[in-house]
Amino acid sequence: MSSDVAISVRNLTKTYRLFAHPGDRIKQAMTFGLRKYHKEFTALKDVSFDIRKGETVGIIGRNGSGKSTLLQLICGILKPTSGSVQMNGRVSALLELGAGFNPEFTGRENVYFQGALMGFTHSQMDDRFDEIAAFADIDEFIDQPVRTYSSGMFVRLAFSVAVSVDPDILIVDEALSVGDALFQSKCFHKFHEFKAQGVTILFVTHSLDLVAEHCERGLLLDRGKLRNAGDAKGSIDAYRRLMSAPRCTDMREGDEHECNAKSASTWLGMFLLNPDEVRYGTRATSIIEAGLFTGEGDPTQLLQHGEECTIKVRVQCGRDSAHPFVSFVIKDIKGGVLCGTTTRMEDVDLTELSPGQVIEVSFRQIMLFNPGHYLLSVGTQETRRDGQIVAHDHRTDYLGFEVVGKSRYGLFAAPIDVSWQCES
């Protein structure tokens, strides 16, 4: 291992045994491994990379891609199935909320407890305590049991301890997403201090903006494999291409090209749909599928703020003829309705559909929402002669998508032209 390398990962693989029932573990043990009662799931597959001293590296990828597993293997919390990890320097890690804290201890007691685990004496932690307490800024709660803490207080204290032990390598999972905006700003100011001091920083995030702003390099994981380990921009671009590509949930190893070919002529497999969508209606017309597409017509669930996009909905008429109108609604992740429209509101009159007929409706717009996660709902309905609206097929929270880009105040950011002049 070179002296200028902080973390060296070689052929790292982690496979879990999944048992359908707890008793199956005993059955397998009694057969001395001659009979299998489990399935194997490989969370990480043959991953190799080096991180040099002083680099700040962001790990990105879909949920379930192996990001947190990788960090736990690097920190030694998990034992790899095969492969190796070498570290060069003192490591401080914040992997999950409250990890390593005793809930019955006070915040003060946990500070000293964590310091002892890192090899610091009581007097050394005395010298650091005031700085830790000031950074955490939880006031009198520092002397209360941590089981009484909110999630925000947890992460404040945990991060304060992690950055106070003079690490050579700082490893952070997504715990920072719990803190408020001011605390996150304080954390990233600390990151800048560490970078100036030559500390190596490795962190997991879903925010591509954080990777672009703070990282020299990015690691893109997908299905447990390392797909890109280049500079930050290259990894972000690769992630966007990945999110825009067709996706097969039953794809076998090495079948990526075949999956793309099979999905090229249909939307099936192109989107990661919400399994918990709410669907109701008479089905006089049915929504076969819906999706979100870039201005170039590529399917995506990751949009850049300010880019053109199109919501497409494919509708099929049932046994009887119908004269429906089609709608969409975009909500935030808390369920608040942000925008939406219908073909009728936009003065688009759909022809009366014959039984079995299929139409495709497109809503083209500029994505003006600020960076964040959103939910798309689609529907078809009809207005009866008495004026009552009848739902044919409403698919609520059909799919989620993310908007990235530079953030402004509020929910959305309209195009703004700023000018100034000097008055005499």
Domains located in the chain, CATH noted = 5-242 (3.40.50.300), 263-404 (2.70.50.60)
**pLDDT for position 101:** 83
Q: What pLDDT score does 254 carry?
A: 45
The mean of the pLDDT values for the chain is: 85
According to the model, what pLDDT value does residue 73 have? 93
pLDDT at 380 over 70: yes
**How many C-beta atoms lie closer than 10 Å to residue 298's C-beta?**
14
| pLDDT in the model for residue 154 | 84
Res. 293 pLDDT band, cuts 50 70 90:
very high
Mean pLDDT of 94-116: 83
Closest CA to 102 of 88, 86, 113: 113
CA 162 from centroid of its chain's CA atoms: 23
d(CA 414, CA 271): 28
Please, which pLDDT band fits residue 178 given cuts at 50, 70 and 90? low
Sort strands 82-87 and 372-383 into parallel, antiparallel or unpaired: unpaired
Average pLDDT estimate for 40-61 = 93
What is the average pLDDT across 369-388?
A: 89
Looking at the predicted structure, is the pLDDT value of residue 312 above 70? yes
Banded pLDDT at 253 (limits 50, 70, 90): very low
> Left, alpha or beta for 93 (phi > 0: left; psi -120 to 50: alpha)?
beta
State how far the Cα of 354 lies from the Cα of 78, in Å rounded to an integer.
Answer: 59
Whole-prediction pTM = 0.64
| 258 pLDDT more than 60 | no
Residue 176's pLDDT band (cuts 50, 70, 90): low
99 confidence band (pLDDT: 50, 70, 90): low
Banded pLDDT at 226 (limits 50, 70, 90): very high
How confident is the model at residue 252, as a pLDDT?
43
pLDDT of 263 > 50? The answer is no
Pick the more confident residue, 334 or 50: 50
pLDDT at residue 264 is higher than 70: no
Of residues 261 and 390, more confidently modeled? 390
